[in-house]
A = this chain, B = another copy of it.
Amino acid sequence: MRKVAILGIGQIKVGEHWEKSLREIGGDAAFAAMQDAGIEKVDSLFVGNMLSPLVSGQNQLGAFFADWIGLWKQEAVKIEAACGSGAAAFRSALTAVASGDSESALVVGVEKMTDKAGRDVTAALATAADADYEVEQGISFVGINALVMRRYMYEFGWKHEDFAPFSINSHANAMHNPYARLREKISTEKFEKSSMVATPINLLDASPIGDGAAAIVIVPAEKVARQPRIVVAASAAATDTIAVHSRKDPMFLQAAYLSSKRAYEMAGLTPADIDVFELHDAFSIMAALSLEASGFAEKGQGVRLALDNEISIGGRIPVCTRGGLKARGHPVGATGVYQLVEVVQQLRGECGKTQVDGAQIGMAQNIGGSGATILTHILRNDFNPA
């Protein structure tokens, strides 16, 4: 397998883009990535998307975007793994280029969510859970996460306000990201007073939906002269039961553990080597679980890492440096690509006030469903290894 480098990145601001269609927002991110890469054509296109059949009445997004972008004959396909669709599309593209099947590939993560009413989107998001054994009981996707959070608080003795630092960190970082949806500071007081969504998850535990698109162009590393040259050091994916109640231990993200373990082995690294970690804080509880399963904290102690201020810029393991899902926004099928774009920005040193000093190695972890599909990627600066 060849080493693969990231040649270009593109993204649009997450928000309510009522004036733009699905094809336009995906196209905008794709064109930005191709312009950044300095190329006009790629061999293949991989689209990550979860909701377009339900929200936009559109399937076959591979050919759909190849058409709009002007890649009229190229191979194109859509990958779906619920909220993990973006990183799954990236991983497919990576395999295509690493194997020699493609000489270049474009990954587009795209989601149009605001064209339907909120309750329709809530129902659409529930398709990430088990339709027969979870949703059939009337539970929503946030409801499932609320059960997990409540149990975690009970089992490890945390109070709700202990989760505040996760959201405060994400919001503080989003202030400096022009592509973020929620660019406003929050406090522990505001966090505690926020409206309840599904007890104990309130509005500030939960990431906002939004229309969004992010894109990446990858090519064999040997073809990249650009400095810094960002390469993919590791890519791994794993699954867990789709229903949370089927898990031996619902407090442990097995697929995060497995995929991060494989990624560390592949890259020859340990958690201590990671300079920046874009994790999947769809809900504050998921941030804690992700840190624990990926080796940054003991079981039940992910919250401690946040309380000790170790997750902010300058901390032991800076997370959600561009705002994370919580404040950059969570356009579900696009999120995994946003995370990778943000890691690239860090490794290029383009993050201004939220730049992690001397960041050389970055990790992104994208989660589909309540931990059913988890992908972990490690990117690194190839010319100045840490």
Contacts and interface: CB of A to CB of B under 8 A. Distances in A.
Interface of A: 1, 21, 23, 50-51, 53-54, 56-64, 66-67, 71-82, 84, 88, 91-92, 95-96, 98-101, 123-124, 126-128, 130-132, 135, 236-243, 246, 254-255, 258, 368-369, 372-373
A60 B128 contact: yes
A67 B98 contact: no
Nearest to A44: B237
A44 B238 CA distance: 9
A57 B128 CA distance: 9
A78 B75 contact: no
Contacts of A62: 81, 88, 239, 373
Sorted nearest first, the 4 A-B pairs with minimum C-beta distance are A99-B99, A63-B372, A59-B127, A60-B82
Contacts of A72: 239-241
Given A67-B241, A95-B95, A127-B59, A1 B101 contact: yes
Contacts of A88: 62, 77
6 contacts: A59-B80, A60-B127, A60-B128, A62-B239, A67-B243, A79-B80
A255 B128 contact: no
A63 to B, nearest CB: 4
A167 to B, nearest CB: 26
B50 A59 contact: yes
Contact of A75 (B76, B79, B237): B237
Given A62-B373, A95-B95, 8 more contacts: A1-B101, A53-B53, A58-B130, A60-B242, A64-B372, A77-B88, A80-B80, A98-B99
Contacts of A66: 239
A126 B77 contact: no
Contacts of A237: 75-77
Contacts of A61: 80
Nearest to A125: B59
A236 B96 CA distance: 12
A54 to B, nearest CB: 5
A337 to B, nearest CB: 15
B78 A59 contact: no
Given A82-B59, A99-B98, A74 B238 contact: yes
Nearest to A51: B53
A87 to B, nearest CB: 10
Contact of A372 (B60, B71, B79): B60
Contacts of A373: 60, 62-63, 76-77
Contacts of A101: 1, 95, 98-99
Q: In this complex, which of A62, A72, A237 has the most chain B Cβ atoms within 10 angstroms of its Cβ?
A: A62
B130 A64 contact: yes
B75 A126 contact: no
A255 B56 CA distance: 25
A77 B63 contact: no
Contacts of A254: 73
A258 B64 contact: no
B64 A92 contact: no
A30 to B, nearest CB: 14
A63 B72 CA distance: 32
